[in-house]
Structure formats: structure tokens, C-alpha cells
Amino acid sequence: MSRFLYGANVQANGIRQHYLRYGGQGPALILIPGITSPAITWGFVAERLGEKYDTYVLDVRGRGLSSSGPELTYDAETCAQDVNAFAAALKLDSYSLIGHSMGARFALRAAVLQPAGVRRLVLVDPPVSGPGRRDYPGKWPWYVDSIRQSLSGMDAEQMRAYCPTWSEEQRQLRAEWLHTCYEPAIQRAYEDFHQVDSHRDYPALSMPTLLMIAGLGGVILPEDEAEIRALQPEITLAHVANAGHMIPWDDFDGFFRALGDFLD
């Protein structure tokens, strides 16, 4: 039985924010996807989360069915403020945040800007690049080439060139929705991976925080773990040894083993 309830829009931080809701019972949970992942692509994860949590999956601005276009700004600070405005618009006064990759950096910043409502914070393989640091391992052409191809229409087989390890269903869904990722929004997010230092926020965290690390992703290396733990000694680390950066796609059960009962 599906845990999906509905998709809806809310006016928050001056834009239309679209979301998908799963479960409807239990503690509230807001899930913020990565750089080119509209909310619907996280549906298979939200179905499982919806068994225990009232789960809201966001379309980040410039993606999916949320506001997009040249009149908007797409910097990391604004996108973090979107998260807090979304929670306020839905009158969620106590909730957990899960963010993946870019979404993890937004969740981290949102939790520091407005910690009062955040019960728990889960950061799934966030980029640790920034000023004076090594580059993010994902290269820009991978993003822009696939987005431009999707604008003219692509199918699951064509998506295989970009996501060779994914199932046909996963590739089909990405091929269907990737065209909603507005290229300037994606470019600004990618640039912010290298221009914004998210490490500044770790010492300010005041809620229980889990850092989930992909063993095969190359995003967070042992020295990065050590630095983050030094900045925030209370953080919990969990590894998914056999997964790349897209952890639930590579090891669905491993993702949930790493999450464990942390949100409880």
C-alpha cells in the first residue's frame, strides 16, 4: 500500500514551494533533495519514511514544480531560508530535517539559522568542497549535458549514459523530470559548492545530528570526517560502505540501516 498522500503548493519566502506528502502520521520530517533531484525522484525513499513519519519532500526552487525562472535568486543562503519558511508556512513547530548532497548543505544552514523547531538533523553525504578546499568530485559537464539533452526529450535508455547503475524505473523517472531543473539554478548551486564554506555551521549545531557517508562516493574522505568531528564533537557518523554518492539508489537497505532509529 502506498504511503503517498498528495502533492501541494505553499507560498513561502516569496515563492511557490511544491512538496509531496507521505504518511501523514508520526513526527514531522522534511526531506530536501540534491542538486538535480526533483521531489518525486525521492518518492521511493519517502514511501518507506512515511511508514513512521509525516514526511514532506520539497521541490527546491528551480526544480520540479516549485517556482523557477530568471527573476529568482538561487544562492545557498536563500535556499536555506526557503526551508525554514516552508516549515513556518505549514505550521510545523517540531520536525526533523533530512538533506542529501546540496540539500544537506541547505538543511545544515537552515538548522543553524532557525534551530528552535528542528528535533533532529540528518546530513546525507554533503559536499565538503569550499574556498581553499578540493573540488567537488562531480564534474559540471555531467549535470549540464544531461539537463540540455532532457529539454528535447529523453528516455530511460538515453539516461543510461549518465546513470549506468540505476534501474530502468529510476532512469525513466529522472528522464521524465530532469527538464524541470532550471540550468542557472543548478549552476549557482554547483558554484556554491566551491564558494560557500559549510564548515562554518557545524560548531553552531544544537540538535542531535547524523552525518551519513557514502563509502564509494569520494565526497567525504576520512580527513573530512575528522575535521567535521573536531568542529562538532557530538555528531554521529554512519557509513554506507557499498554505496556511491546517491546512497539510497545504490544501497536502499544500507541507507535505512545507517539511519537506524536516529529520528526516534
Which of 61, 62, 39, 219 is closest to 129 using CA atoms?
Answer: 219
Q: Which helix (H) or strand (E) holds 143?
A: helix 140-151
- pLDDT category of residue 41 using cuts at 50, 70 and 90: very high
- Cβ pair 53, 29 in contact under 8 A: yes
pLDDT band at 187 (very low <50, low <70, confident <90, very high): very high
Grid coordinates of 173 = 523517472
What is the pairing mode between strands 15-22 and 54-58? antiparallel
Q: For position 180, what pLDDT does the model report?
A: 98
Span 66-75, mean pLDDT?
98
Question: How would residue 137 be classed by pLDDT, with cut points 50, 70 and 90?
Answer: very high
- Give the C-alpha separation, 40 to 174, whole Å: 9
Q: What pLDDT shows up at residue 57?
A: 99
Q: 48: pLDDT confidence band, cut at 50, 70 and 90?
A: very high
Instruction: Say what the pLDDT of residue 72 is.
Output: 98
143 contacts 63 by C-beta, under 8 angstroms: no
Give percent above pLDDT 70 in the chain: 100
**For residue 211, what are the β-bridge partners?**
123, 237
User: Where does the pLDDT of residue 196 fall: very low under 50, low under 70, confident under 90, or very high at 90 and above?
Assistant: very high
pLDDT band at residue 69 under the 50/70/90 scheme: very high
Side-chain-side CA neighbours of residue 189 (13 Å): 30
Paired residues of 212 in beta bridges: 124, 238
Q: What pLDDT sits at residue 12?
A: 98
Residue 197 forms beta bridges with which residues? none
**What's the rounded mean pLDDT across residues 222-244?**
98
Quote the mean pLDDT of the chain. 98
Task: Give the span between the Cα atoms of 194 and 94, in whole angstroms.
Answer: 32
Q: Note the pLDDT of residue 257.
A: 98
Percent of the chain with pLDDT over 90: 100
The pLDDT of 173-193, averaged and rounded, is: 98
Domains in the chain (CATH in brackets) are 4-135+197-259 (3.40.50.1820)
